[in-house]
Homo-oligomer: A and B are copies of this chain.
Amino acid sequence: MIIITQPAVTEEQIRQIVARLEDFGLEAHVSRGDSRVTVGVSGPEELARNQPLASLPGVEAIVPLAKPYKLAAKSARRAASTVDICGVSIGSKAAVAVISGPCSVESREQILSIARLVKDSGARLLRGGAFKPRTSPYSFQGLREEGLRFLAEARNETGLPVVTEIMDARDLPLIERYADCLQIGARNMQNFSLLRDVGRSHLPVLLKRGFSATLNELVMSAEYILNEGNANVLLCERGIRTFENATRYTLDLSAVPILKAKTHLPVLVDPTHGVGLREIVPQMALAAVAAGADAIMIEVHDSPEDAKSDGRQALFPETLSKLVPRLRAVANAIGRDL
């Protein structure tokens, strides 16, 4: 961190800045330039970051030099991470994985039938919600434990590991009994209590970007999980909120290369929620693979017009079946398997 002082800073103010830094357990290194005095700060950057240095008299600007995250940072590991979900590897050295399934588990028949379609399409993981975050308290809220049981049955039949959302830390023991990967939804990306709890789970965590979270904030939320000891975190871009209303959200594919430059964690893309329109999900999935995503999450429903949630955005099963080979062709074109 470097502190740049105002042109009119006094010697007394500089003394106070240095004294304050030393109070905080930091070292200060004063450099006198032609027109400005700068104070280099050494010591733990997070220590300095938490202090109200910008409020000190005589300070013009603070230039942070270290990243606010450490465990998630690219520099924290020699190589990119690979997360294993019951035998399916996800990461930049592994094949691109397709994760698919319905928005919500609606019945035993529905999830079994869709799981078979997902398996046949070439997708490698099954997603489905048993606890649903819904804007309205009057909307379908999920089948809860019953939904988890149906998901586990679908996994047992198809062999596809199951990803499902957790909304409340008190449900963790229950979900851990049935699922293979926990999903933190966009609306809970900064539910810091929940992040700490899943950080103590043995299951991998698929962390979705909040729809108005910056990429730095997403990485900081991953840091909460990593800091509790759970090293298996996957980051997932799922669209951000902008003024454009032709799509439900704006899918920010630049998140893929940016996150891969910042962190060692696998990066996923969910084009379904990102755009909310079935018609353009295939193009956005292809684009996500080309941008370097390590896995693609796609909603599918065998009769979208009966879906209890988000029917407008789920792919028809035949669209998914035709899409997977095209995703593979693009993956191959950039030198990856799928």
Q: Which residue of chain B is the closest to A189 with respect to CB atoms?
A: B187
A76 adjacent to chain B (CB < 8 Å): no
| Complex CA–CA separation, A73 to B23 (angstroms) | 38
Over the window 114-127 of chain A, the binary record of Cβ atoms lying under 8 Å from chain B Cβ atoms (1 yes, 0 no) is 00000000000000
A233 adjacent to chain B (CB < 8 Å): no
| Complex CA–CA separation, A307 to B318 (angstroms) | 50
A156 adjacent to chain B (CB < 8 Å): no
| Complex CA–CA separation, A36 to B211 (angstroms) | 37
| Chain B binder among A145-153, A174-182, A244-252 | A244-252
On whether the beta carbons of B55 and A312 are closer than 8 Å, the reply is yes
Among B63, B279, B283, B310, contact of A292 (Cβ-Cβ < 8 Å): B283
Over the window 137-167 of chain A, the binary record of Cβ atoms lying under 8 Å from chain B Cβ atoms (1 yes, 0 no) is 1111000000000000000000000000001
Among B69, B136, B194, contact of A46 (Cβ-Cβ < 8 Å): B136
| Complex CA–CA separation, A211 to B211 (angstroms) | 10
On whether the beta carbons of A65 and B36 are closer than 8 Å, the reply is yes
**Inside 8 A of A196's CB, which chain B residues have their CB?**
137
**Inside 8 A of A243's CB, which chain B residues have their CB?**
212, 214, 240-243
**Inside 8 A of A245's CB, which chain B residues have their CB?**
214, 245
On whether the beta carbons of B52 and A311 are closer than 8 Å, the reply is yes
A88 adjacent to chain B (CB < 8 Å): no
Query: Provided the pairs A4-B2, A251-B253, A257-B280 are in contact, do residues A36 and B40 lie with their beta carbons within 8 angstroms?
Result: yes
| Chain B binder among A79-87, A89-97, A217-225 | A217-225
Range for the number of chain A residues in contact with chain B: 35 or more
On whether the beta carbons of A138 and B36 are closer than 8 Å, the reply is no
**Inside 8 A of A333's CB, which chain B residues have their CB?**
326, 329-330, 332-333
| Complex CA–CA separation, A40 to B60 (angstroms) | 14
On whether the beta carbons of B261 and A280 are closer than 8 Å, the reply is yes
On whether the beta carbons of B253 and A244 are closer than 8 Å, the reply is no
A32 adjacent to chain B (CB < 8 Å): yes
Over the window 312-332 of chain A, the binary record of Cβ atoms lying under 8 Å from chain B Cβ atoms (1 yes, 0 no) is 100000000000001001101
A227 adjacent to chain B (CB < 8 Å): yes
On whether the beta carbons of B190 and A168 are closer than 8 Å, the reply is no
- Tell which of A138, A242, A244, A250 has the most Cβ of chain B within 10 Å: A244
Query: Provided the pairs A137-B223, A243-B214, A330-B330 are in contact, do residues A284 and B254 lie with their beta carbons within 8 angstroms?
Result: yes
Over the window 273-284 of chain A, the binary record of Cβ atoms lying under 8 Å from chain B Cβ atoms (1 yes, 0 no) is 011000110011
How far does the Cβ of A57 sit from chain B's closest Cβ, in whole Å?
8
A286 adjacent to chain B (CB < 8 Å): yes
A113 adjacent to chain B (CB < 8 Å): no
Task: Point out residues on A near B: beta carbons under 8 Å.
Answer: 2, 4, 20, 27, 29, 31-36, 38, 40, 42, 46, 49-50, 52, 54-57, 60-61, 63, 65, 68-69, 133-140, 167-170, 187-188, 190-194, 196, 210-212, 214-217, 220, 223-224, 227, 240-247, 250-254, 256-258, 261, 274-275, 279-280, 283-284, 286-292, 304-312, 326, 329-330, 332-334
Q: A31-B32, A214-B243 are in contact. List 10 more A-B contacts (CB 8 A).
A: A36-B40, A38-B40, A46-B138, A68-B136, A137-B192, A187-B190, A214-B246, A242-B242, A256-B283, A290-B290
